[in-house]
C-alpha cells in the first residue's frame, strides 16, 4: 500500500482580498501562515515521516511547504519545484476583484470562467505585464507551453504528465510523498486519482492547508481518502471555499 499527502497552500493575500490569483506570486496572510503550521502539526501525528516533497514555483505554496516541514524537522528532505504544479492561469482575470468582475461581465459569466471544465478565461497577450515569459521563472518555456489563460482541462493537461513522470515513480519506489500546491492543480490530481468525471470535478472544493491523505493500491487506485483534522473544522473550511462570493483559487 502506498501513501501520498496533498495539501493546498494556506490563505493568500489575494484570497483575503477576493481576487483572481492564478500565477501571480502573492504571499500568505498571517492566517495562512497559521494554517500552514497547523497542517504541519497534523502531519506530525502520522505514524511515519514524509520522504520527499513536491510543490509549485509560487511562494504561497513554497512557504506553506516550508512551514509544514519545519514543524516536522524535515526541511532537509528533497524538495522538487515545478511550474507544472502552479495554480490554473487565470489570464486577464488575474488581479481583478471577483465582485467588480461580476458587476462588469455578469455573475453567470464569472462563474462559467471559474467553474466550467473547458471554458478559458479572458486571454492575455504577449505585451501584457502578466505574460509569463516576462518572469525569469518561465523564461525558458516555449510559446506552446506558456498559458495565456487556462481552463481546468488545460491545467490537467500540464499537471498529469508531471504526476506520471516525476511523482508516481517516487510513490512506486515506496517513498512517502507530500505535494503542496493549489486549488486547481490539486483538483487535477484528485480527478486523476479518483477517476472523477468532468462534471463532478467542478463540485470538488479543496480547503486551504488541510492535509488530504490517500492510501493507494499497487495500481495507485485509492483505498481511502482522509481529510486530516477535526471534522467540524474541515467542513467549515470546505464551505468557505465553496462560498460563491469568495475566490479561493
Report, as residue numbers or ranges, the catalytic residues.
9, 87
State the cell numbers at 63: 512557504
Cβ-proximal residues to 194 (8 Å cutoff; 6+ apart), any chain: 222, 225
Is residue 59 exposed (0-12), middle (13-18) or buried (19+ Cβ within 10 Å)?
middle
Count other C-beta atoms under 10 Å from residue 162's C-beta: 19
Closest to 11 in 3D by CA, of 53, 75, 61: 61
Buried b (16+ CB within 10 A) or exposed e, 64-101: bbbbbbebbebeebebebbbbbbbbbbbbbbbbebeeb
Cβ-proximal residues to 47 (8 Å cutoff; 6+ apart), any chain: none
What are φ and ψ of residue 222, in 5° steps? -65, 130
Cβ-proximal residues to 22 (8 Å cutoff; 6+ apart), any chain: 87, 88, 89, 90, 91, 93, 94, 249
- If you ran DSSP here, which 8-state letter would residue 28 be given? B
d(CA 230, CA 151): 33
Amino acid at each position: 500500500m502506498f501513501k501520498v499527502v496533498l495539501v493546498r497552500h494556506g490563505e493568500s493575500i489575494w484570497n483575503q482580498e477576493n481576487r483572481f490569483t492564478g500565477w501571480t506570486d502573492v504571499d500568505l496572510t498571517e492566517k495562512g501562515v497559521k494554517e500552514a503550521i497547523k497542517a504541519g502539526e497534523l502531519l506530525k501525528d502520522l505514524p511515519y515521516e514524509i520522504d520527499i516533497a513536491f510543490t509549485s514555483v509560487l511562494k504561497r505554496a513554497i512557504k506553506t511547504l516550508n512551514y509544514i516541514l519545519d514543524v516536522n524537522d524535515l526541511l532537509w528532505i528533497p524538495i522538487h519545484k515545478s511550474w507544472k504544479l502552479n495554480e490554473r492561469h487565470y489570464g486577464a482575470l488575474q488581479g481583478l476583484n471577483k465582485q467588480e468582475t461580476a458587476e462588469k461581465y455578469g455573475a453567470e459569466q464569472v462563474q462559467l470562467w471559474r467553474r466550467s471544465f473547458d471554458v478559458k478565461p479572458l486571454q492575455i497577450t504577449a505585451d501584457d505585464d502578466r505574460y509569463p515569459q516576462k518572469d525569469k521563472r518561465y523564461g525558458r518555456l516555449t510559446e506552446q507551453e506558456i498559458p495565456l489563460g487556462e481552463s481546468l482541462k488545460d491545467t490537467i493537461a500540464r499537471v498529469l504528465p508531471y504526476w506520471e513522470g516525476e511523482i508516481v515513480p517516487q510513490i512506486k519506489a515506496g517513498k512517502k510523498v507530500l505535494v503542496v500546491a493549489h486549488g486547481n492543480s490539486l483538483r487535477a490530481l484528485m480527478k486523476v486519482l479518483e477517476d472523477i468525471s468532468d462534471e463532478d470535478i467542478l463540485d470538488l472544493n479543496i480547503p486551504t492547508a488541510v492535509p488530504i491523505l490517500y492510501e493507494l493500491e499497487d495500481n495507485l487506485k485509492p483505498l481511502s481518502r482522509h481529510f486530516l483534522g477535526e471534522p467540524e473544522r474541515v467542513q467549515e473550511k470546505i464551505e468557505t471555499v465553496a462560498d460563491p462570493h469568495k475566490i479561493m483559487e
